[in-house]
Structure 1
Amino acid sequence: MTGVGAVLGWRLDGLLSASTSYASDGERVATTADAVGRSFDIDPTWSGRTRDAAQARVGVQMSRLRRLENTLLDLSVAAGQGHGRLSSVRDRLAGQVRIARSTGFAVGDDGAVAHPDPSRRADSDYLTDRIRGLLDEADIADIAVGMKLKMLTRELDGSNGLVPTPGGAYALADVAAAELASMSPADLTRYWESLSPAQRQSLIAAAPGVVGNLDGIDFADRITANERSIRAALATEVAAGRGGGEKAATLRGLLMPAPDPQHPERSVQRTFLGFTDVGNGRFIELVGDLSPSSTGVAVLVPGTGTSLATSDDYRRRAAALSRRSGAPVIVYADGELPQSVIDTDLSPTRNTAVDPGPARRMAPRLVGFAAALDAQLAASGTPLATTVIGHSYGGSVVGTAEQLGLRADRVVYASSAGTGVEDRPWNNANPEVKRYSMTPPGDPIHYAQKFGGPVHGGDPDTAPGVIRMDTGLYSDRQLVQGPQSHSGYLDDEGSDAMGNLAAVVAGREPSTYVDRVPDIEVDRDVSRAIGDLLDSALRLVPGR
């Protein structure tokens, strides 16, 4: 308990001064925020990517300034109210002590009251209770005012365990994180960049599965969040007694270092821009570094059979493409891709390669991710051209995304099932986009291209405006052809086809298709092709 002397000695004028200063500072911050906003609109003729990037940065600073203004004003109110509360209890205690002493009572520092006349014992006890009650009230008020001021002060650096919500209030990190998924990517970017590093880490710790998969959040923070999510998924497997199972082994592999694409002799940590532990697993893996020295950046959308369990196959292919092109490659598998070409009894087609549903569901997310990649490149001052590559079923995903407004500088349909499942023309947000295709002769996907138009949109090799690239020879100078060529050229870093893919990613001109042997011979091969599609040896599974 605080003593009588300490409470009566409180010097509270400083709280009034602080209240006035905080209010004045808040007004200055508000004036600055208004000036920043007005200055950006001085030249109404300014437009383009640079203006958009500048506007985004101004938006971030405005958010920070408005939040600082609110905190300063809250501090002003808290200091003023604290002064009133503490002054009230101090003055009431002073009055009670003055009355007691003026009537002959002695008041100790602990609030005990005594009188030399034993007959006044009841009065002494009464006054003791009154004064000690005021001392208790003073303690409570002192603690409450101090905690309020400390909490608000720590809002300035994020050290109070609370984070600002998108609406401007402060809350526990898990409460704030619940609002993130409903924000637009642009609003989310402004909000995220306005946070302190400590506040960002609080949100990542509270909701890694949310933060790691949201377009609009900085890639470095998504990578941190997804590592936490992968570790949590592994911990779940171990806790359930499945630590020695295939899934646990896969998850451990995601956390293990892998060869650096540009320097294979050294290892780097694998980095994931997306991870969701549902079904067969969804992921977005960045292979290589986004840097100003890169020749570009590629987004590779894989095909049938892709899952967490087969993620190493596409990582290996992405690393090979990264080495040949000098560009980072992002493996985009943020969806439940089909795991088989067709059911052997020809019954349900749902979630097989002849089902357009997965492509239709994945395409909007691919459009959003491509926009997030553009924003990340702009914010980091790394103006790299982007190439989106769809392999096998992934080509149908990419084609559908183009119909929905995907923005890319170059698009490649590699052994693609088709040009997209939506019944509409391509609508890439870049009117200057360059489109390429490549399908080796004898690749069984030719049958999907020729006969699967109602499902996947038709043959990209013959689509207007698409340049068919040569698939050429393997590194051993054998012709890239036949059933195994569907993925074979991706598994041979030295193949001519891989060289053409690398040329497109790096912004060089690829070689066009050379007709060496027929793609397919329909009259002779249709019946055999149908049988082959039912044969697991020809399923379009990575690594086969």
Structure 2
Amino acid sequence: MRRFGRTLVTAALAVTVVAGTAGWASGDSQRAVTGPPPGAAAWRADTVSGRALPDPASASPREVARFFAGLDDSARRELVRSHPLVVGNLDGAPLALRYEANRIAVAATGEARYAALAAPGRQILAFDPRGRGQVAEVFGDLERARHVSVIVPGSDNDATAYDAKRKQHTGPAGMARALRGATGATGATGATGATGATGNVGAASGDVAVVAWIGYTTPVGVGLDAADGRLAGAGAARLARFTAGLDAVGAPDPVLFCHSYGSVVCGLAARDTDATDIVAFGSPGMRADTAAALRTRARVWAARGPSDWIADVPNVEFAGIGHGADPTSPAFGAHRVPAADVQGHTGYFTPGTQSLAAFAAIAKGEVR
């Protein structure tokens, strides 16, 4: 009975403590944005040379890829002009078409907060303005890269705040730039982005591409959304489809770098992705007792810095609250990433840190 009481207390603590990247603030319940973007009905009603278009809600990324492979350039570009929001978010569609479609879709919103996303040189792989907005940006040449990494962030990330000023090397775009730079990629082109540095890293340099992926509705601040798995479950389905889309266009199997609540998303998606490696850092748990319980062939890695407040989050899961075992604990069975010099909850990509050096080696496939 005493043990049950301690579990209840710990679960209650999890409700008040679990958070993403914003720290101590009250959280508001978020409605998960799922399904195809606006414009799907018009897309379904359209045809190309009498052929039905693939249903964005049910066609697999490979089916989408086969459909576009059967079109000539004129037909492809007409679909981009007519249905930019659908093409821009359609996993399995050619990358160049998605970039073009999203430039059109961003400009069509007429919203100043999104305007920078349409700047020349930026490679926006997904853009959905519903709710707080979702966005994915590619750094590097995804079509030719030998290695691909995907940054999966935690709470308080969305399209509206994507280009907001942040401390360098934090936020999805800052992490992506730092990781790609640490792999030896050089050069930069494009618009000013979230950290005040150039927005995209030169596509012709290096053989590592990194995707900053905010493809799910993240929690806001501290609250039940951050302590339960509802948003993570919806995000996991979207992450699995996104990685299937990368595979459908011939991209290498990715490495997933999963921060804070993003590691909950990755934990739930693990069995349904073809990732070679899954790296959880600053993690409140992955909704699994062990790495083996994730049921993935990917190598699982975990990192936590000595001053990361996530260590204060109780590693329990009770009645759907809390995210389970600490991925950095020996019992979990993940490979440990050195992080002794990491500062705080968001310092894992700071140049010169042990964690960033290790992340770069994993991203390049150098760790066996």
| TM-score, normalized by the shorter chain, greater than 0.5 | yes
- Is the aligned partner of 1:318 residue 2:191? no
- Is the aligned partner of 1:399 residue 2:267? yes
Q: 1:411 to 1:449 in 2, by over 3 A?
A: farther
Tell me the CA shift for residue 373 of structure 1.
1.0
- Is the aligned partner of 1:505 residue 2:356? no
Distance 2:148 2:258 in 1: 14
Larger % of helix: which? Answer: 1
Per-residue CA deviations over 1:469-517 (Å, capped at 9, x if unaligned) read 11133xxxxxx34xxx210232x2222211111111111239xxxxxxx
Tell me the CA shift for residue 459 of structure 1.
1.0
| Residue aligned with 1:311, SS | coil
Per-residue CA deviations over 1:166-190 (Å, capped at 9, x if unaligned) read xxx25xxxxx558454322222211
Q: 1:505 to 1:203 in 2, by over 3 A?
A: same
Tell me the CA shift for residue 439 of structure 1.
0.6
- The answer for the alignment partner of 1:438 in structure 2 is 303
Tell me the CA shift for residue 230 of structure 1.
0.6
Distance 1:354 1:501 in 2: 27
| Aligned partners of 1:177 and 1:206 also within 8 Å | no
Amino acid at match of 1:340: G
- Is the aligned partner of 1:466 residue 2:334? yes
- The answer for the alignment partner of 1:196 in structure 2 is 72
| Residue aligned with 2:79, SS | helix
| Residue aligned with 2:347, SS | helix
TM-score by length of 1: 0.50
Tell me the CA shift for residue 421 of structure 1.
7.3
| Residue aligned with 2:294, SS | coil
| Aligned partners of 2:136 and 2:211 also within 8 Å | yes
| Residue aligned with 1:353, SS | helix
- The answer for the alignment partner of 2:211 in structure 1 is 330
Per-residue CA deviations over 1:212-269 (Å, capped at 9, x if unaligned) read 11212111111111111111112xx4xxxxxxxxxx1x21221235xxxxxxxxxxx1
| Aligned partners of 2:289 and 2:325 also within 8 Å | no
Tell me the CA shift for residue 310 of structure 1.
2.7
| Higher relative contact order, chain-length normalized (CA < 8 Å, sep 6+) | 2
- The answer for the alignment partner of 2:91 in structure 1 is 215
Match of 1:251 among 96, 109, 114: 114
Amino acid at match of 2:97: D
- Is the aligned partner of 1:372 residue 2:245? yes
Question: After TM superposition, where is structure 1 displaced by more than 6 Å over at least 4 residues in a row?
Answer: 421-424
TM-score by length of 2: 0.72
Tell me the CA shift for residue 365 of structure 1.
1.3
| Residue aligned with 2:162, SS | helix
Structure 1 unmatched ranges of 5 or more: 1-160, 171-175, 238-247, 258-268, 343-348, 379-383, 474-479, 511-544
Larger % of strand: which? Answer: 2
Superposed counterparts of 1:229-244, under 5 Å:
229-234=105-110, 237=111
Distance 1:322 1:185 in 2: 26
- The answer for the alignment partner of 1:226 in structure 2 is 102
- Is the aligned partner of 1:182 residue 2:58? yes
Give % identity.
Answer: 31
Structure 2 unmatched ranges of 5 or more: 1-45, 164-170, 186-207
- Is the aligned partner of 1:450 residue 2:315? yes
Superposed counterparts of 1:44-443, under 5 Å:
163-164=48-49, 169=50, 176-177=52-53, 179-234=55-110, 237=111, 248=112, 250-257=113-120, 269-290=121-142, 292=144, 294=145, 296-312=147-163, 313-325=171-183, 326=185, 327-342=208-223, 349=224, 352-377=225-250, 384-402=252-270, 404-420=271-287, 425-428=293-296, 431=297, 433-443=298-308
Q: 1:180 to 1:401 in 2, by over 3 A?
A: closer
The size of the alignment, in residue pairs, is 289
Distance 1:451 1:162 in 2: 51
Amino acid at match of 1:414: F
Distance 1:398 1:456 in 2: 12
